[in-house]
Amino acid sequence: MARQEMDSQVSALRSMMSRRGFFGAAGAVGAASVLAACGTGGGSANPSASFPADTSAADKLVRWANWTLYLDVDKGKYPTLETFKKQTGINVDYREDVDDNNSFWGKVNGQLRTRKDIGYDIVTLTDWMANRMIQYGYTQPLDAAKVPNKSNILTALANVAFDPGRQRTLTWQSGFAGLVWNKEKLPKGLKTIDDLWQPALKGKVTVLSEMRDTVGCLLLSQGVDITKPISDAQFATALELLSKQLSSGQIYKVQGNQYKNDLINGTAWAGILWSGDIFQLNAENGDKWGFALPESGGTLWSDNMMIPSTSSHQTDAMKLMNYYYEPAVAAKVAAYVNYICPVQGAQAEMEKIDPKLAASEFIFPSADTLARAKTFVGLEAAQETSFNDQWLTAIGQ
């Protein structure tokens, strides 16, 4: 009992600290960003006309905003970053400043609009926010000659809808959203989204509060290709399915990664959830949960590095990106963070570090698996607002 309580406390802490721990954001950073977001006046919609002159050579500095627990760490230092500093003489100011895409956006969008330095040379944001950054002209192009390792990117990630050919962004880490089930309760496992609606799972299903992951999986199950523009009618049909399952009580909750507690305490038996969390949970609690992409396909999300339009350290930033796309370096990061590694060749390097991890479908998914994972299309601003509004209304917010 005590042991179980300890575990739950630890996992509670973890879920608060982990990459998608959105309560930290909602609570602490929320207040600050709310203030920062207050200035909502006019201003030009296209600040990309010119970028600051490159002062990389003189400054030798890269300021990088990333999520928490998202880089290999050892005794308060980041080994791969230390190596980079030694190799290049470039100083890296690494800050775990991103708790939540929305609150980070709230914090920086005013300065980006008025072209004031936001204090970062690389920001790491999720696909849909990367899409927004590009649409608003808040990113700088990557010079392929300065990032030759860019070609190491996984084929599945090379041509995302919001940035074909990766002209302005480069994947940091990726993950799946798909079917998760408790192996004890459901020894047969789950294969399709429809399997979630079986009577035995009434009140035991939970889905993600990340609109693109949940609606994405539902759309795929309805035969919609989510990598192509989505019509209002298609979106409405998917939301109808969600509302039906919510009002019948089949889905008991739509939530962020606090669902981990529910899996542990037996409240949730199944759901549409994130692969990275299940990897961690299985490592901590015995191999209790299964994960699979639905037969109709699951979503592939990524966090992407990009250079904000206000940065004057473009070359140094690109050097850093290039460094992390060396397979050996990427393997070291993957061995720590356990998300999908976006770099080809890292699997072979991982064999030298930990053969068990190298065989993991969670970190190095097979081509078969990757073929079934889709990235949600980049939405136009007006459609994004409308979809978000309908989504929030459907889940009671």
Partner 1 sequence: MNAPVVPVPAAGVQAVRSTKAGTRRRWTPYLLLLPGLLWLGIFFIIPLASLLMQSLQTPVPNGLAGQFQQTWRFQNYIDTLSQPNFYNAMIRSFTYSFIATVLALLIAYPLAYAIALRAGRAKPLLLVLVVAPFFVSFILRTIAWKQVLGAEGPVVSTLQALHLVQQNFTIYPSSAAVIAGLTYNFLPFMTLPIFASLDRLDTRLVEAANDLYAGNLVAFRKVTLPLTMPGVVAGTLLTFIPASGDYINSELLGGSVNTTMIGKVIDSRFLVLSDYPAASVLSFTLMSIILAAVWLYVRKAGTEELV
**Least distance in angstroms from the C-beta of 227 to partner 1:** 23
Q: Which residues pair with 50 in a beta bridge?
A: none
CB of 369 to partner 1, least distance (A): 30
Binding interface with partner 1 (CB under 8 A) = 5, 8-9, 12-13, 15-16, 23, 26-27, 30, 33-34, 37-38, 40-43, 45, 100, 102-103, 106, 109, 113, 132, 136, 203, 246-247, 251-255, 258, 261-262, 264-267, 381, 384-385, 388-389, 392-393, 395-397
CB of 174 to partner 1, least distance (A): 22
Report, in Å, the least distance between residue 196 CB and partner 1. Answer: 15
State the nearest-atom distance from the C-beta of 236 to partner 1, in Å.
17
Closest CB to partner 1 among 63 and 107?
107
Q: Which is nearer to partner 1, 178 or 256 (CB)?
A: 256
CA distances for 216 relative to 22, 107, 154, angstroms: 20, 28, 21
Q: Which helix (H) or strand (E) element contains residue 385?
A: helix 381-394
Q: Which is nearer to partner 1, 12 or 158 (CB)?
A: 12
Task: Give the closest residue to 317 by CA, choosing from 174, 122, 65.
Answer: 122
For residues 84 and 289, which CB has a smaller minimum distance to partner 1 in the complex? 289
| Complex with partner 1: residue 36 or 61, whichever CB lies closer | 36
Nearer to partner 1, 15 or 322 (CB): 15
H/E stretch holding 308 reads strand 298-308
Q: What are phi and psi of 41, to 5 degrees?
A: -70, -165
**Closest separation in Å from C-beta 238 to partner 1:** 16
Cβ–Cβ under 8 Å, residues 117 and 111: yes
Q: Collect contacts of 380-389 with beta carbons under 8 A, ≥24 apart.
A: 380/135, 381/132, 381/135, 383/232, 384/128, 384/132, 386/232, 387/211, 387/215, 387/235, 388/211
